[in-house]
Amino acid sequence: MGLVFLLLLVVFSAVSADEDAFVGVNIGTELSDMPNPTQVVALLKAQQLHHVRLFDADEAMLVALANTKISVIISVPNDQLLGVGQSNETAANWVKRNVLAHVPATNITAIAVGSEVLTTLPNAAPVLISAMNFIHSALVAAKLDSQIKVSSPHSSSLILDSFPPSQAFFNRTWNPVMVPLLKFLQSTNSYLMLNVYPYYDYVQSNGAIPLDYALFRPLPANKEAVDSNTLLHYTNVFDAVVDAAYFAMADINFTNVPIVVTESGWPSKGDSSEQDANLDNANTYNSNLIRHVYNNTGTPKHPGIAVSTYIYELYNEDQRPGRISEKNWGLFDANGIPVYTLHLTGSGTVLSNDTTNQTYCVAKEGADKKMLQAALDWACGPGKVDCSPLMQGQPCYDPDTVVAHASYAFDAYYRRMGMADGTCNFNGVATISTSDPTHGSCIFPGSHGRNGTLFNGTSSLAPSTNSTVSSSHPRYYYHGDPLFCVTLVLSLVLWMATFF
Ligand SMILES: *[C@@H]1O[C@H](CO)[C@@H](O)[C@H](O)[C@H]1NC(C)=O
Ligand SMILES: *[C@@H]1O[C@H](CO)[C@@H](O)[C@H](O)[C@H]1NC(C)=O
Ligand SMILES: *[C@@H]1O[C@H](CO)[C@@H](O)[C@H](O)[C@H]1NC(C)=O
Ligand SMILES: *[C@@H]1O[C@H](CO)[C@@H](O)[C@H](O)[C@H]1NC(C)=O
Ligand SMILES: *[C@@H]1O[C@H](CO)[C@@H](O)[C@H](O)[C@H]1NC(C)=O
Ligand SMILES: *[C@@H]1O[C@H](CO)[C@@H](O)[C@H](O)[C@H]1NC(C)=O
Ligand SMILES: *[C@@H]1O[C@H](CO)[C@@H](O)[C@H](O)[C@H]1NC(C)=O
Ligand SMILES: *[C@@H]1O[C@H](CO)[C@@H](O)[C@H](O)[C@H]1NC(C)=O
Ligand SMILES: *[C@@H]1O[C@H](CO)[C@@H](O)[C@H](O)[C@H]1NC(C)=O
Ligand SMILES: *[C@@H]1O[C@H](CO)[C@@H](O)[C@H](O)[C@H]1NC(C)=O
């Protein structure tokens, strides 16, 4: 018995504990003003996010992620699953196009084959295993199988009777798929990808699950859930669901497949029937989740075994169909501005730019006016900052000085670039400040004083993905001076010459 236990530990640690648990993010792209891949990567870097999952294998995104060390899970979308699962040649081509073309520059570490296939696309279930096998064979042929894992994310709703966790089992209808799937994961040293949404468990429980239990808030000892079979104490829904998955695997005799949570999060906004989708709860859930993961506590069943987790999701996706909550799972808006300020003291550097003092990029005191003007023109032109708030009659027109206008434009640019290193320079005339330059009705991007109404609709700072130098954004005409056009072109040329 002792030996078996020891062996299990060894197997587990071989796959998961060689690396501490980490927090990553999912990057959905259904935004009306999706930042371009360079901006997405700038945000990831500024927020120290080193692990991402894409819902596809977008070429531009994979190129932007090259040489960043960021580890990337790419996905075979459900609509490509049939093709890949029916032909090893299609699968090999998929790997060639989406993997071989990008490694090693882009650090692809896993391929998620389909998404919640058994619960959302059961008709494709018969090809899921062959799709995974074909993709894996193509990786073997390219000698990439040890560094790139193949798996498939599952909904936790596949697990039935999940409390107490020790009685959980996978919906037996799917045993003919789950058994070979777990065999595959086991023999390829891969892991189970699991989507864990305490928000839905809570909402669907009709009050049976206390909100505090879903949000990782401390519970009085007498309210902690105890699994009467194992006497393990559960202080939160997340751990209970992950343990239910371990028990469900054990139920069909798999005891050494680690789990990575590919999605978890909480919406920050909902309609009137979704009262618990709000800023406070989203902040509490995600802050506690991040601290929980980094604490390396594991779960009651497997203490100390890493359960790395990808937060759903990086951006609010305003184009997603469905209820209001569906569009509000993001940590950031399209401008890279945090939707709320996470409470992460003591949990490392990931996302910690949310919790440290806000920084602003402003014009340097005493900077040369001509250089400021040139930099301002650049920011409002090729830099693609929307400078319309600086126009006469708009909130940031006053004071009508090049210093004040440049500060606004610099800060907007800096924020759009995810506050990345080197994006607050402007040929040396810009500097980082911790005091909020917001004045009167002119609210600076990222200001805590912003009222959620700052960039109303049309004046988004994020450029469209379709970004060439001839921006479709309104040009900034300083004073309408006829000479300005000439000055603009000249200063542009100068600026480009000095910077590139
Ligand atoms: C790729 O990501 C993995 C997991 O984070 C990391 O261990 C590895 O060092 C990265 N590789 C490169 C080349 O950056
Ligand atoms: C596909 O499978 C067939 C039969 O097993 C094999 O001969 C062929 O080499 C495979 N093709 C690829 C691209 O792996
Ligand atoms: C199990 O899965 C089958 C097939 O999708 C489904 O019809 C059934 O409702 C599921 N059982 C439960 C209890 O959810
Ligand atoms: C698991 O193992 C037990 C005992 O060996 C066996 O009775 C059972 O059929 C196995 N279950 C599956 C799904 O293979
Ligand atoms: C972190 O881990 C320690 C020891 O494992 C535990 O006592 C503590 O409650 C954990 N903190 C959090 C926030 O999970
Ligand atoms: C934030 O800025 C204020 C004033 O500059 C400073 O006193 C405080 O220590 C800073 N806080 C952090 C967390 O850096
Ligand atoms: C926050 O982002 C800035 C700009 O990229 C970076 O210099 C700084 O190190 C980051 N702070 C933390 C705590 O990660
Ligand atoms: C937000 O806007 C309302 C109404 O315009 C105003 O009363 C309130 O003071 C503003 N709050 C902040 C923090 O600016
Ligand atoms: C923002 O847009 C909405 C709807 O178009 C409008 O009702 C609201 O007054 C606008 N807010 C500001 C500050 O312009
Ligand atoms: C850029 O956007 C415009 C308007 O949305 C569109 O007509 C044009 O085809 C796009 N160009 C590219 C290269 O995507």
**Of ligand 2's atoms, which has the minimum distance to the CA of residue 134?**
14
Q: Which of 286, 297, 345 gets mutated to test ligand 5 (max ligand atoms within 8 A of its CB)?
A: 297
Predicted confidence at residue 420, as pLDDT, reads 67
CA-based angle 92:95:96, to the nearest 5? Answer: 85
Query: Is residue 182 within 8 Å of 118, Cβ to Cβ?
Result: no
Q: Which of 59, 89, 263, 274 is catalytic?
A: 263
Residue identifier of the C-alpha nearest atom 14 of ligand 6: 357
Predicted confidence at residue 421, as pLDDT, reads 65
Cα-based distances in Å from 221 to 61, 218, 285, 300, 306: 47, 9, 20, 15, 25
- Smallest Cα–Cα separation from 152: which of 100, 76, 210, 205? 76
Cα-based distances in Å from 384 to 39, 48, 288, 377: 12, 25, 37, 10
Q: At residue 444, does pLDDT exceed 90?
A: no
Q: What's the rounded Cα separation, in Å, for the pair 106 and 144?
A: 13
CATH of domain 10-49+152-354: 3.20.20.80
Count CB-CB contacts under 10 A for residue 357: 9
Token duo for residue 291: 């601290």
Residue identifier of the C-alpha nearest atom 5 of ligand 4: 253
95-99, 267-271, 313-317, 380-384: least confident range: 380-384
**Of ligand 8's atoms, which has the minimum distance to the CA of residue 443?**
14
Separation of CA 352 and ligand 6 centre (Å): 14
Predicted confidence at residue 19, as pLDDT, reads 63
Mean pLDDT value of segment 431-459: 61
Separation of CA 453 and ligand 9 centre (Å): 7
Predicted confidence at residue 202, as pLDDT, reads 95
Separation of CA 171 and ligand 3 centre (Å): 6
Best-predicted range by mean pLDDT (265-279, 285-299, 355-369, 446-460): 265-279
Token duo for residue 476: 């900034």
Task: Output 153 or 436, whichever has higher pLDDT.
Answer: 153
Mean pLDDT value of segment 422-439: 86
What is the DSSP secondary structure assignment for residue 391, as one 8-state letter? S
Kindly indicate the confidence band of residue 437, based on its pLDDT and cuts at 50, 70 and 90: confident
120-124, 129-133, 261-265, 492-496: least confident range: 492-496
CA-based angle 296:302:303, to the nearest 5? Answer: 40
Separation of CA 254 and ligand 4 centre (Å): 10
- Smallest Cα–Cα separation from 79: which of 115, 111, 53? 115
Name the residue ranges covered by the structural domains of the chain. Answer: 10-49+152-354, 360-499
Task: Report CA 431 to chain centroid distance, whole Å.
Answer: 29
Mean pLDDT over all residues of the chain? 84
Q: At residue 3, does pLDDT exceed 50?
A: no
Q: What's the rounded Cα separation, in Å, for the pair 322 and 327?
A: 8
Ligand 4 contact, 253 CB (< 6 A) = yes
E strand intervals along 265-371: 309-311, 360-363
Q: At residue 265, does pLDDT exceed 70?
A: yes
Ligand 5 contact, 292 CB (< 6 A) = yes
Separation of CA 359 and ligand 8 centre (Å): 22
Q: What's the rounded Cα separation, in Å, for the pair 121 and 125?
A: 7
Token duo for residue 471: 């921006």
19 noted as active-site residue = no
% of the chain residues with pLDDT over 90: 67
Of the CA atoms within 13 Å of residue 62, those in its CB half-sphere come to: 22
Predicted confidence at residue 340, as pLDDT, reads 87
Which numbered ligand comes closest to the C-alpha of 463? 10
- Smallest Cα–Cα separation from 299: which of 355, 230, 401? 230
For domain 360-499, give its CATH number from 2.30.30, 1.20.58, 1.10.150, 3.40.50.
1.20.58
Q: What's the rounded Cα separation, in Å, for the pair 392 and 360?
A: 24
Ligand 9 contact, 451 CB (< 6 A) = no
- Smallest Cα–Cα separation from 178: which of 243, 129, 122, 121? 129
**Chain length of the chain:** 500
Rounded to 5 degrees, φ, ψ at 346 are: 85, 10
Mean pLDDT value of segment 253-274: 96
Best-predicted range by mean pLDDT (50-59, 335-344, 406-415): 50-59
Task: Output 398 or 458, whichever has higher pLDDT.
Answer: 398
Largest CA distance in the chain: 87
Chain segment 456-469, per-residue pLDDT in tens: 222 222 222 222 22
**Of ligand 5's atoms, which has the minimum distance to the CA of residue 304?**
5
Kindly indicate the confidence band of residue 345, based on its pLDDT and cuts at 50, 70 and 90: low
Predicted confidence at residue 494, as pLDDT, reads 37
Ligand 6 contact, 357 CB (< 6 A) = yes
Helical pair 125-141 and 88-95, crossing angle rounded to 10 deg = 50
Q: What's the rounded Cα separation, in Å, for the pair 114 and 153?
A: 7
191-205, 269-283, 378-392: least confident range: 378-392
Kindly indicate the confidence band of residue 448, based on its pLDDT and cuts at 50, 70 and 90: low
Chain segment 87-142, per-residue pLDDT in tens: 999 999 999 999 999 999 999 999 999 999 999 999 999 999 999 999 999 999 99
Kindly indicate the confidence band of residue 352, based on its pLDDT and cuts at 50, 70 and 90: low
Q: What's the rounded Cα separation, in Å, for the pair 106 and 63?
A: 7
Cis, peptide link before residue 267, omega less than 30° from 0: no
Query: Is residue 115 within 8 Å of 73, Cβ to Cβ?
Result: no
Mean pLDDT value of segment 10-18: 42
Residue identifier of the C-alpha nearest atom 8 of ligand 8: 451
59 noted as active-site residue = no
